Amino acid sequence: MYRPTGRVLTLLELLQSGGTRTAAELADRLGVEQRTVRRYVDQLIDLDVPVESVRGRYGGYRLARGHRLPPLMLTDEEALAVLLGLVAGRRAGLTTAAADTAGETASAKIRRVLPGQLAGRLAALLETLAFTDGTGALDAPDAGVLLTLADAVRHRRPVSVRYTDGAGRRSERTLHAYGIVAHSGRWYVTGRDAGIDEDRTFRLDRIADARALPGSFEPPAGPAPAQRLLSALATADYRHEVTLRIHGTVAQIRARLPAAVARLADPEPATGEDPAAERWRRVEIRAERLDWLPPVLASLDRPFVIDRPDELRDLVSALATRLASYARDEPPGAPPERSAP
């Protein structure tokens, strides 16, 4: 049940959302009579909150325009959305240097006025969150799942998750979470599945519930969580296993085949080798479909050899034939060329 102070704060939150609110509407939202609403308005005015009374048929109450209000009251989900939006904007390069500075100060102000427990959980998330180069616009995560996993990563505690895989199979896993990663619009958690004692990557939108467990674990040495995710995506089980040899530098290959798509068998330069040197490099790709790959290989503009599968050779040959025909002749259905008058 609301206490009077709680209702006054709720009234302020309703007025902060903008527009004019009728006394009847406010009374209904607060669960009180209209005369009680008027009393709450008087309390806000006593606190120097400029609430205006609007007369007439569509009258009611509103906040004075341009007034600088006290810090907003945010739910867990709202605070999470604001902070993640600021962080993701900076990581995706969507803000200017000046906007970055403003975002930092806004983030600090929000975190300063949050309740201690929520502020601590959000701090844990920001400490454990990693981004790949392919972040993009992020789906809204479940706040409870995300914050629980972040706390488990920060304090190295096991966590129990209820997970539904891509085939619709449901299971409960005990996870030793290494980190949370944002990639291509989705959220992932990487860690060791204690039930099978193997490293796994889980999509957060497929986790229905997360619950901290007693105990602790020591994360292993090795790649950072973001790199673990990219490696897992590049080596996941798909219908086709593609093996190529491409003549070029790592940078040239990665420009069209990023780490989340392809694995380089020898990404590091050999001893004494010039990092900018072009040479034959083995590339492995796993894909559900092959039709997207010939145009990507053509856009590389580098010599390549297809070791497998034969189906990809046929697709590349078909694309080459079409491109050659387009270069020689007009495309089918093109209007005849007009002669100059």
Nearest Cα to Cα of residue 187 among 136, 122, 221, 254: 136
- The Cα-based distances of 220 to 170, 176, 223, 270 in angstroms read 28, 10, 9, 27
Q: Which ranges constitute the DSSP H helices of the chain?
A: 4-16, 23-30, 34-46, 76-91, 97-113, 116-128, 143-155, 225-234, 250-254, 293-300, 310-328
CB 174 within 8 A of CB 160: yes
pLDDT band at residue 210 under the 50/70/90 scheme: very high
Arithmetic mean of pLDDT, 107-122: 70
Arithmetic mean of pLDDT, 211-225: 88
Mind listing the domains of the chain with CATH numbers?
4-63 (1.10.10.10), 76-232 (no CATH), 235-328 (3.30.70)
pLDDT tops 60 at residue 162:
yes
pLDDT tops 60 at residue 98:
no
How much of the chain exceeds pLDDT 90, in percent?
Answer: 23
> Which has the minimum average pLDDT: 135-139, 231-235, 294-298?
135-139
Q: What is the pTM of this model?
A: 0.52
Instruction: Extract the tokens encoding 322.
Output: 């079409």
| 191 or 112, which is more confident | 191
What pLDDT does residue 250 have? 87
Residue type, 81: A
Q: 135-145: buried (b, 16+ CB within 10 Å) or exposed (e) per residue?
A: beebeebbbeb
- 56 phi, psi to nearest 5 deg: 105, 180
Nearest Cα to Cα of residue 262 among 282, 277, 279: 282
Reported as type and span, the H/E element at residue 159 is strand 159-164
pLDDT tops 90 at residue 302:
yes
Average pLDDT along the chain: 80
Instruction: Extract the tokens encoding 39.
Output: 């009393």
For residue 326, count CB atoms less than 10 angstroms from its CB and return exposed for 0-12, middle for 13-18, buried for 19 or more: exposed
What 3-state class would DSSP assign to 277? coil
What residues pair up with 280 in beta bridges, in sequence order? 247
Residue with tokens 């300063």: 112
Question: How many CB atoms neighbour CB 335 within 10 A?
Answer: 6
**Residues 6 or more apart whose Cβ sits within 8 Å of residue 29:** 10, 14
Arithmetic mean of pLDDT, 79-85: 72
| 157 or 125, which is more confident | 157
CB 202 within 8 A of CB 189: yes
How much of the chain exceeds pLDDT 70, in percent?
Answer: 76
